[in-house]
A and B are shown apart, each in its own frame.
Chain A
Amino acid sequence: MTTDRIPPLPSEDLPFIFDLSRPGRIACSLPACDVPELPPERHIPAALLRDVPAALPEVYEVDVVRHYTALSRRNFGVDNGFYPLGSCTMKYNPKLNEDAAKLTGFGGIHPYQPEETVQGALELLYTLQSDLAALTGMDRMTLQPAAGAHGEWTGLMMIRAYHESRGERRTKVLVPDSSHGTNPASATAAGYATVTLKSDARGLVDLDVLRAAVGADTAALMLTNPNTLGLFEEHIAEIAEIVHEAGGLLYYDGANANAIMGIARPGDMGFDVVHLNLHKTMSTPHGGGGPGAGPVGVKRVLEPFLPAPLVERRADGTYFLDDARPRSIGRVKPFHGNFGILLRAYAYIRSYGPAGLRRVSECAVLNANYMLSRLSAAYDVPYPRLCKHEFVLSGARQKAFGIRTFDIAKRLLDFGFHPPTVYFPLIVEESIMIEPTETESKETLDRFIDAMLRIAWEAEHEPDTVLKAPSRTDTARLDETLAARKPVLHCDCG
């Protein structure tokens, strides 16, 4: 080989699947047509037919497998490492549950099959309804909602129906300033105005602020308990009393239910409506953003308003779908909810049982407190006391050295960790919200803590290292401003 021309390095950009297209390649294998092959316009008028075929790529099966395998290698999941994302409960996703979802008797059933052909599925849903109701202390559950936010809206629509059934038109939903963004967004979707309550110095609902805010127009108070700071609302009984006395209802955002399973139940605290995130508390995989499931439980007075249908059990032990719910808010989702997710949650509950679920919460809370106690050496702790399953640090001390929480998160990537939730809740400056979950070992927690302590040291002594992070990932920091200012949201397929 001559030396005057250096061969170029191969491109590192991962091509689009569309770039791999070569005319004539094929990745599918279709049955031969065994019925008369008339031209399409003999069945459908030509005006309704596509002029040209959709420009999809022409690749072969190995291209497809290698492309998506290459993409998967540029992605980080719980199976890759520690994922302490506060309020998201990124716990281990059991493999048996995945296998169960693939059973033909679950994955291959149609929602409109005759009831007698889906008794196994209906029994599973019925038992899950009962178990989740018992776990939360509610009287009845719907498994329909597809996600937490969907559950919130479903719950608020039932609250609305309840007030309307009493001839009342209440217009406001109260949320603490530490609440998830979905709470006010769901209130809007249910036709309510949102009133934000300022938290007290201890990070909890300020009873005086609450008393001043409630009134004849209060439809509900939405609370997460423990709240998004990882703190238990100690005055929950009084909070419930204040809201109930004003004629309002209490809504439980179940994002943080992993802290209290078998230890305390929202229903016993005075909550009237509860949603759970099965993709958090019940270990169903997040799937890169979904699918999830957000079942909603209610107290007896709200039962008539549950969305149709519910799974019911006959005296002879058979199960059926009850659509005859005249006072129901109606449908919130087609068919029977995200069955494939619900069955994973059922398998999870059965893998633990009552004592096991309680132990899950104990371990989650001990892990969080252990991390909090070690990390308080280097990071500000805005609410220094026992936490539940998660806690919030502030990066204010590091900010003084020119290092933002954003930078700390990026530096964690270099150490092989998914960063915590950052800049939420909004009431803590430079917030860092850490939720270890129960499925992480002490060695993992220690490694993460060591990384955080190292970053705190770097912030003070070699800030450039932190500011340049990440340096060991597939891409460096990405230009998010450019993406929003000049949106490029798709490319050509053909």
Chain B
Amino acid sequence: MRYSHRYLPMTEQDEADMLQAVGVSGVDELFRDIPDALRYPGALPISPPLDEPSLWAHLQELAVRNTAASQCASFLGAGVYDHHIPSVIGHLISRSEFYTAYTPYQPEISQGELQAIFEFQSYICELTGMPIANASMYDGATALAEAGLLAAGATRRTRLVVSRGVHPETRAVLRTMARGLGIEVAEAPCSAAEGTTDLSLLEQAIDERTAAVLVQSPNFFGCIEDIAAIEPLAHAGGGLLAVSVNPLSLGLLQPPGKLGADIVVGDAQPLGIPQSFGGPTCGFFAVAEPLMRRMPGRIVGQTVDRSGKRGFVLTLQAREQHIRREKATSNICSNQALLALNAAIYLSVMGKRGLRETALLNMRKAHYAAEAIAALPGYGLPAAAPFFNEFIIKLPGSVSCSELNRRLLGDNIIGGFDMGKAYPELAGHMLVAVTEKRSREDIDRLVARLGEFK
């Protein structure tokens, strides 16, 4: 029987009419420019097709074989967090005018997307305290790496100093990207007692070849970096300061833009974006005025149409690959538009009060949990620096983090990140995240279970 499929409209009659118009006798003839030796004989060895009911059943079966962190009491963070996602977000980003559109290169029929991104840029400026933000990046990690590359270009220097408090995977991405351009990456250690970048070692690490200092706050240990103290060190040598932030923490914390940062980036996942096994998320990227024309990625600007009516377009495109090719500021050719929209809707829903209150809930619950765990015999809080919604605990001597997590899972609790996996010196330490979704009962249950391990 003739092949038919619900996504393919071509009938036998269509095919005959179209072949006739083209002037060929069969579909095969359309491929006669592909040499016979290169034609694939037979059927590809790929997974067989499924009808719609079977496909849905198969996908559901795969999905139920995963334990959703969102269905347990999850204390796992380390860059991806289990926050409440208001219902309106899913409904609005599922408007297919948004999700089935391409990049808004035709502004007359893309004003919705363009205005949404313009509002996203405005939100990022407000949160970070920076004057200019782009339309978004792949994720927070590549955004920080691009910040380093931007700084190298702007200062004509070839060395970056990154705090060891930056997410280990972000540092790994940075190393790969820097290697491509022959940029050296030096790491500045953190103080074990404080859990923040060691300022005197940082000062020693910065030299006259240093293009930028890259830090994260709250950092991977959950600790809030003293940006005001890092800023003069970063700038003393003539380099720039790039800060990666958790945007939710900015509901409460001083924005880095007010503390002298030149570039502020981060991942918008905490702003209502599903965990989705870590991707896709959405990076944001904001700069000080002098760096505007060096920014990577797309930017939406306001303008007017022929009748003087307000409108929006993609702008400053002379930086981008489709115009500048090998001289572009970055090879990025997309943004995470749908997730930038997601984050913008989240911020609209939260509003002035909601964002601050959500940040407060995170902070208070995390501190409640930290104090309760610290009171358990054998447990401790090794880092003295202030934290937001995530903190490191030291486990009792004999307890292995992975074994502990396995036991917790049996009680429907997803435990924290095993620090030993990323920092060998921190084996036996766990990074615990507490969001607004964790009730006091969840926390008490975790504390009670931890208390059973000594």
Contact = CB atoms under 8 A, between A and B. Distances in A.
A153 interface: yes
Interface stretch (B65-73, B201-209, B232-240, B392-400): B65-73
A490 B8 contact: no
Interface stretch (B108-116, B187-195, B374-382): B108-116
Interface in B17-44: 17-19, 21-24, 27, 30-35, 37-40, 43-44
Interface string B98-115: 111111101111111101
A402 interface: no
Contacts of A335: 79-80, 169, 277-279
A59 B351 contact: yes
A285 B100 contact: yes
The 6 closest A-B pairs by CB, nearest first: A335-B278, A353-B49, A105-B63, A111-B278, A120-B65, A287-B338
Given A134-B45, A288-B113, A439-B8, A478 B348 contact: no
Interface string B1-17: 00101011110001101
Contacts of A316: none
Interface string B206-226: 000000000000000000101
B200 interface: no
Nearest to B82: A110
A261 B302 CA distance: 42
A150 B303 CA distance: 31
Contact of B348 (A17, A153, A234, A372): A17
B182 interface: yes
Contacts of B321: 149, 181-182, 184-185
Interface in B124-172: 125-127, 131-133, 135-136, 138-142, 167, 169-170, 172
Contacts of B43: 262, 354-355, 358
B104 A493 contact: no
Nearest to A132: B46
A35 interface: yes
B423 interface: no
Contact of A442 (B10, B71, B79, B409): B10
B21 A370 contact: yes
A113 B405 CA distance: 9
Given A119-B66, A474-B109, A476-B306, A54 B88 contact: no
A14 to B, nearest CB: 7
A100 interface: yes
B50 A331 contact: no
Contacts of A201: none
A12 B351 contact: no
Interface residues of B, number: 204
A427 B70 CA distance: 52
Contact of A360 (B8, B103, B278): B8
Given A263-B31, A480-B315, A112 B78 contact: yes
Contacts of A101: 276
Nearest to A474: B111
Contact of B318 (A56, A124, A263, A484): A484
Given A103-B59, A352-B49, 17 more contacts: A16-B115, A54-B356, A57-B351, A75-B109, A79-B96, A80-B96, A232-B34, A237-B37, A329-B176, A338-B279, A350-B55, A362-B30, A369-B22, A478-B312, A484-B318, A492-B126, A493-B122
Nearest to B56: A96
A50 B326 contact: no
B8 A363 contact: yes
A44 to B, nearest CB: 4
A64 interface: yes
B313 interface: yes
A489 B436 contact: no
9 contacts: A13-B310, A76-B110, A113-B67, A264-B39, A290-B280, A351-B7, A359-B3, A474-B109, A490-B132
Interface in A108-149: 108-114, 117-121, 123-124, 127, 130-131, 134-135, 137, 146-149
A355 B363 CA distance: 55
A286 B97 contact: no
A167 B72 CA distance: 51
Nearest to A120: B65
Contact of A30 (B21, B60, B361, B443): B361
Contact of B328 (A79, A185, A236, A372): A185
B81 to A, nearest CB: 9
B182 A181 contact: no
A388 to B, nearest CB: 8
B64 A107 contact: no
B186 interface: no
Interface stretch (A83-91, A211-219, A242-250, A452-460): A83-91
Contacts of A397: none
A494 interface: yes
Given A33-B361, A43-B363, A339-B278, A110 B253 contact: no
A26 B354 contact: yes
B328 A336 contact: no
B7 A94 contact: yes
B307 to A, nearest CB: 6
A215 B409 CA distance: 58
Contacts of B94: 98
Interface in A329-349: 329-341, 343, 347, 349
A365 B443 CA distance: 59
B246 interface: no
A482 B138 contact: no
Contact of B338 (A16, A44, A121, A291): A291
B228 to A, nearest CB: 7
A291 B352 contact: no
A384 interface: no
B139 A146 contact: yes
Contacts of B10: 363, 366-367, 438, 441-442
B47 A55 contact: no
Nearest to A414: B108
A419 interface: yes
A73 interface: yes
B303 A482 contact: yes
A176 to B, nearest CB: 12
Given A289-B298, A336-B277, A331 B169 contact: yes
A149 B333 contact: yes
Most chain B CB neighbours (cut-off 10 Å) among A31, A92, A329: A31
A189 to B, nearest CB: 5
A335 B378 CA distance: 32
A439 B122 contact: no
